[in-house]
Each structure stands twice: as structure tokens, then as C-alpha cells.
Amino acid sequence: MKVLRKTGEIVEVSFEEQEGKKAFWHTSAHVLAQAVKRLYPDTKCAIGPAILNGFYYDFEFSFPFSEENLKAVEEEMKRIVKESLSIRVYEKSKDEAIAFMENAHEVYKLELIRELEDSEKISFYKQGDYEEFCAGPHISNTCQIKAIKLLSVAGAYWRGDEKNQMLTRIYGISFPKASELEEYLHMLEEAKARDHRKLGKELELFALMEEGPGFPFYFPKGLILKNLLIDYWREIHAREGYVEIATPIMLMRGLWEKSGHWEHYRDNMYTTSIDDMDYAIKPMNCPGGMLVYKSKVHSYREFPMRVGELGIVHRAEKSGTLHGLMRARCFTQDDAHIFMREDQVLSEIQGVMRLIDEVYSKFGFPYEIELSTRPENSIGSDEDWELAINSLKAAVEGAGKSYVINEGDGAFYGPKLDFHLKDSIGRTWQCGTIQLDFQLPQRFELDYIGADGEKHRPIMLHRVVFGSIDRFMGILIEHYAGKFPFWLAPVQIKILPVSDKYLAYGKEVMEQLKARGFRVELDQRDEKLGYKIREAQLDKVPYMVILGEQEQKGKTISVRQRDEKREKQDMGQMTVEAFIGIMAITA
């Protein structure tokens, strides 16, 4: 696939590469805008970027945009693709760009151009009768788009500000092969069936209520699942030499100014006032961790110090971005901060990488690594940033792992490694992160006593494995479609008496199983056995124990397992002890 950069250079890039996808979907967004302008010339164009999966474009229509209009636009896009329009890039001065957009009556483009530096040369991409200013990259010809589909329409405020004009956002997807579009649409249908919000309600795990948008309510089964993840986290971190702390959920403004969050993250923070002083509810655990470190004098002999915190954080997300557990305003972050000497940086990064690899392997997730570099609003010196980026590169390469560069997407205080896991239907999720930070130790004046008896400044790693335990739960719900592995199932065994006559025996069996540490429910309802079995299957319980006259007389149980293949569901009669032996192997 040929990609046209804004320098005019044409390079061969695979669609699977980040630059390839971005160019392909960015061009598709321009095709969308071109189709809209052909059909509805008075429409105002705003922005149209490539996103993680596909593209969107924001428009101001002079009429209510409907499903029929969406179909017409998609058909026009297909016609444009068939025209095999070559794409070229050229530059205009700022004044020339303003004059061009004024003539085209593109008010949103004008606003963006006027904010640029006067001396800046502005790149424009042109395909047939459509051209607009854009940094690219793009593919070199529209004919490379072999399959295209417009997916949905939504409202979006201009520049995400509720005070601005509400625009119409059209989402789409495109591919270089028709078969890839078919696979993607099939995945979307599968994703709907696996939606964690739907399954969370059906399986009685959690709910999202109008009294608290973005603040999940956990039910008993959901809290069992969350606590199982926390227990697992604590187990492996204790093994790896981490200690655990807890810091306050709300701290004074001065702390957040010192950390840089008040300046760089203020819009995402909830604030309040106590005794005429400003406070912020923590959006991150790091500053509290800095205060814990500073509470005593440290020696070089204590390093590396691995300090974990399962901290509840709150972030002021816009209502339009909320999505169940995947994007919430309150969640538990599995943070840890590692304080270390410079000679320990490489081994500690690789130690975290091994831990992340172990966790993702346990859940069956393959993953890719992305190195995010210095953003525009960063703090710290060029030298510190170069050292931090090179240290992360050396750690990944030394571990024999591949990675891609994500320019300018690091945290404001340091570069990071992001771990993108792939679920059972092919979607990717960014979860684990390793951030190398030279800045907060300086801002908080952290130090330790070195072997020479002098004070030195530690280097710090921020890292998460799950990312957000709540979000990771949502990913697991969809990854397993609610059919959790035995060790993770909130209810592992459901006991189904054929009738009330066998309830007493059912309670006896339940107590035996509970005594061995299994999570068991007894269905005491006066319902037919077939109904109870169907209900247990809908609840996606791994094992069903059926009790009737024969089982009661012989002090046995009949076992059915949750399996897609009917012939494998019935495991037959056995003693409770034999069943426990089978489950011990399963667990």
C-alpha cells in the first residue's frame, strides 16, 4: 500500500502498520467529506480523523440528517472510490489557507487555521474536486479502498465543548479487502452479544444507575469477581516483593500543584472546599505515594522499593464518553511505584514486563507493546526525556520483545510502554502501562542516602497491570462472553434438586462443597428440573449438580458441565469426593 506523507514522499507501508491504518482511514474520512459535499454542498465540514478502529467526520448539516441520508452518502463514497482519484499534497501560506476557506465558507476550518503560527506552512491534500488542509498521511489513490461501510451517526459538540455548536458525527470503517470488512462486521455483531453492560445486568454483576452516571454499583456476584482479581493481584505482587499502601481519596490543592496535575490535568479532576481551602479528589494515586516515600529517610540498601496501591480514583469524564466499566468516572487502579537507583532501571522494567506477561497469559490474552514518547505539554529537560525513552527501548529490546512507536502520546511527566492486549474476538484494549519518571522525584525532592553517605535522587517507575480493575472486569466479561473459567466464576456450582423432597440432601451436598472452598448455590425454587437447568445455563455456571431419588439413596450426585457440545455436558453419576477431585484439577 502506497502512503503519501505531507513532505510529498510516497512510501510502501502495510495496512497492518500503525502508519498504514492511519493513512488508510484518514483518506476514507476525506472520501466521506467529499461525498457529503457533493450531495449537500452547503454542509460545513469540521474535523475527520482516523481513530482506533476506522474514522469519523463531524459536519454541520442544514437539515436533520437521517438513516436514508447515511445510505446515500455511503453509495456516493463507493462511486468516489471507483473513480480512482490520485491524491496529491501541496502547501499554502496561512493567508492563502484563510482565503481558501473563507471562499469555501468553511467556518470550522477557518477557526483551526487562524490558531496556527503566522509563519507556518500549511499542507493541503487534494483528491479530485475535494481538498482540505491536513497533516496527513494519506494513501496515494482512493482505489486502494476496496470495502467501506458507514456504521453510525451521533451528536458531537464542536471541540468537545458543550457551549459550542452540536455537530453530526458520522462513523465509518474501511479495508483494503472486502473479506476484512465482512470479518469486522461479524466481530461487531459478536461484540453486541458480549456487551459487558448487557451481560453485567443479566448475570447480576453490576449496574449503572441514573442516580450516579459513570459510577458503577456492584452486586454480590460482581464483587466476588472483583475481589478474586484483587486477591490474585495481591498474591503475585507479594511474591514479587511488593508492599501495599493506601492513601487518602482527597488531598489539598497544593499537592496537585506540586505534582503538576493541577496545571496539566485540572479539567479531569473533581474539586471541593474544606475550611476555605481547595481540595481535589484524586484522579491518580502517585502524589499520595510520594508523600508516603517522604515520610522517612531511605537508604540505597532498600532499593528497589516496590510499593503497590489498589487506589480508588475519580476522573471527570464527559457524559458522552462514558461506556459501562470501560470508561467510568470512578474505578480502582492497580498502581505500583518502584523507587530505584539508575543501575536498577533496566532490570526493574523487565521485571514488570515479565509480571504483565504472566498475568495476560493466565487470561489467554496475546498483546503488543507501544512506546509513547514526549507530548507537547510535558515537563522536564530534554536530557531526562532522552534518557527515559532510551531506557524503555533498551528494556524492551533486551527482553526480546517487538514494539511500535507512538509519537507524542506519553504522560506529561515521562514516556511509557503501553500493553495492548487482544481479546477472543480480535479487539485490542490498552491495559498495562510502564511509565519511567524522572520528574515527580524532582518535584517532590525525593532522596535517599547512597553508599557514599550523600543524598541522591531516586528514579521512579509508575506501572499498572490491569490498568483499572473495573475496566479489566468489563474486558473479561466480553472476552469470555460471561463464561468465566472455573477459578473466576462467581458461582462455580449450582445444586438443582429434582423436587422439594431432596432439598435436605441438597443442603448437605452444598455444605460439603463449601467446606472445601467452592462457591456454591442451591436452587430451592419449586420449579421443574428442565427450567432450573436452563436458568443455570443462562447464568453460565460451570457445573450443575442434579439430585433426585437415585442420587439420595446412593449418596451420589449427577453432574452436568457448562459445555457448548451437548454430548460433553453430562458427566454422569459420581460421589462428592470424586467430583471434588475433578474440580481440583480444573481449578
111-158 residue pLDDT tens: 999 998 888 889 999 999 999 988 889 999 999 999 999 999 999 999
Q: How do the domains of the chain map onto residue ranges?
A: 2-193, 196-368+432-479, 491-586
Closest CA to 441 of 455, 420, 426: 455
Closest CA to 109 of 25, 185, 30: 30
pLDDT of the residue at 8: 78
pTM, two decimals, is 0.87
DSSP state of 271: E
**What is the pLDDT of the chain when averaged over all its residues?**
93
Is 393 annotated in the active site? no
Is 286 annotated in the active site? yes
Is 333 annotated in the active site? yes
Question: Sorting pLDDT into bands at 50, 70 and 90, what band is 382?
Answer: confident
Is 315 annotated in the active site? yes
Question: Sorting pLDDT into bands at 50, 70 and 90, what band is 405?
Answer: confident
Question: Sorting pLDDT into bands at 50, 70 and 90, what band is 32?
Answer: very high
pLDDT of the residue at 12: 87
Instruction: Assess whether pLDDT exceeds 70 at residue 564.
Output: no
**C-alpha–C-alpha distance, residues 362 and 434, integer Å:** 20
The predicted-structure confidence for 438-469, as pLDDT tens digits, reads as follows 888 999 999 999 999 999 999 999 999 999 99
Task: Report phi then psi at 349, rounded to 5.
Answer: -60, -45
Q: Which one is catalytic: 34, 333, 439, 552?
A: 333
Third-level CATH fold of 2-193: Threonyl-tRNA Synthetase; Chain A, domain 2 (3.30.980)
pLDDT of the residue at 566: 64
Q: Which one is catalytic: 109, 149, 196, 337?
A: 337
Is 416 annotated in the active site? yes
Question: Sorting pLDDT into bands at 50, 70 and 90, what band is 567?
Answer: low
Domain at 196-368+432-479: CATH code: 3.30.930.10
Is 337 annotated in the active site? yes
Please state the CATH superfamily assignment of the domain spanning residues 491-586 in this structure.
Answer: Anticodon-binding domain (3.40.50.800)
Query: Which residues, in sequence order, are bridge partners of residue 3?
Result: 11, 139
Is 335 annotated in the active site? yes
Q: Which one is catalytic: 335, 423, 523, 539?
A: 335
Residue range 161-181: mean pLDDT, rounded: 94
**Angle at which helices 220-239 and 469-479 pack, to 10 degrees?**
110
Closest CA to 344 of 356, 352, 335, 336: 352
